[in-house]
Structure 1
Amino acid sequence: MRIGELMTKNLETIEAGEPIRAAALRMRTCNIGSLPVLEGGQLVGMLTDRDIAVRSAALGQDPNTTPVREVMTATVITCDVDATLEVAEKVMEEKMVRRLVVVDGERRPVGLLSLDDLATVPEEVLHAGEVLERLQQV
């Protein structure tokens, strides 16, 4: 099975220059905890609810004026849309992440693959559990 068959396709994103408040509202509305960050259509980072809390709110930054680029995580772990689930599991385990931004050949985000997604595939349940166990050991 390929990642493109299992990933969440209706990917919500945010522009790097948008204020943190806009990102937080989008996360709340969509009931999600992370947003890939784009600049000019290219993936430049990832913003999580934890980034907002720890890198912005804890420092007293104004969410109406602080741009997403100031608190996002610039390193984004990605996987190619045509990769296999086994490749995704290996990347998650090696990079110690629970979700991957799925990109096309031009590194544009086209979806999101989470450990939870892997656990929905019967033959992957055992593998997803093993990856989760290793992630929790750190």
Structure 2
Amino acid sequence: MKISEVMTREVQTIQPDQPVQEAASFMLTADAGSIPVTDGERLVGMITDRDIAVRGIAKGHGPDTPVRELMTNDIICARIDQDIEEVATKMSQAQVRRLPVIDEQDRLCGIVSLGDLARETSDDSAQQALEGVVQPGGEHRQ
């Protein structure tokens, strides 16, 4: 099964020049911990609640700070044509709960979460991804 069959296609995004307060507001409303950052349709980063609360505050940034200053540029993505098992392995290795899904031109097509894998698959994909996420340690990535 391909990741395109289980991903969420309607994804809220934010632009790099928008203030982090708008990103935080979206996360609060959507009860989400991250939001993809796009330039047009092209994915350029991710910003997380941790980026704002820890990195932003630690460096003295305020709510009007542009998203680009706190977002993660080195993002881990799934490709729209990848198999679910391959994406689950990637999520486990990266220790993340969700991955943006992009096409061959790096355009954002959707997002896949552990919940999507658990809800839409009958195999062990979600369990495989979860095992890596709950492992202690590692550098925060997204």
Q: TM-score, normalised by structure 1?
A: 0.88
Higher percent of residues as helix? 1
Partners of 1:135 and 1:32 lie apart in 2 by 17
Aligned to 1:82: 81
Compute the displacement of 1:122 (Å). 4.4
Of 36-45 and 75-84, the range deviating more from structure 2: 36-45
Aligned to 1:55: 55
Aligned to 2:112: 113
Compute the displacement of 1:57 (Å). 2.7
Matching of residues 62-73 of structure 1 within 5 Å:
62-64=62-64, 66-73=65-72
Return the match for 1:133 from 117, 122, 131. 131
Unmatched segments (≥5 aa) in structure 2: 137-142
Compute the displacement of 1:85 (Å). 0.6
Partners of 1:137 and 1:96 lie apart in 2 by 7
Aligned to 1:103: 102
Task: Note if contact 2:92-2:131 (Cα within 8 Å) is conserved in structure 1.
Answer: no
Task: Note if contact 2:94-2:132 (Cα within 8 Å) is conserved in structure 1.
Answer: no
Identical pairs, percent: 44
Task: Note if contact 2:84-2:125 (Cα within 8 Å) is conserved in structure 1.
Answer: no
Partners of 1:72 and 1:43 lie apart in 2 by 12
Partners of 1:20 and 1:134 lie apart in 2 by 29
The number of equivalent residue pairs is 136
Deviations 1:52-97 (A, max 9, x none): 1001134332212x10011111111111112111111121122222
Partners of 1:71 and 1:110 lie apart in 2 by 23
Of 94-103 and 55-64, the range deviating more from structure 2: 55-64
Compute the displacement of 1:13 (Å). 0.6
Unmatched segments (≥5 aa) in structure 1: none
Cα RMSD of the aligned pairs, angstroms, is 1.6
Residues 45, 122 of structure 1: alpha-carbon distance in 2 compared, 3 angstrom cutoff: closer
Partners of 2:40 and 2:128 lie apart in 1 by 38
Q: TM-score, normalised by structure 2?
A: 0.86
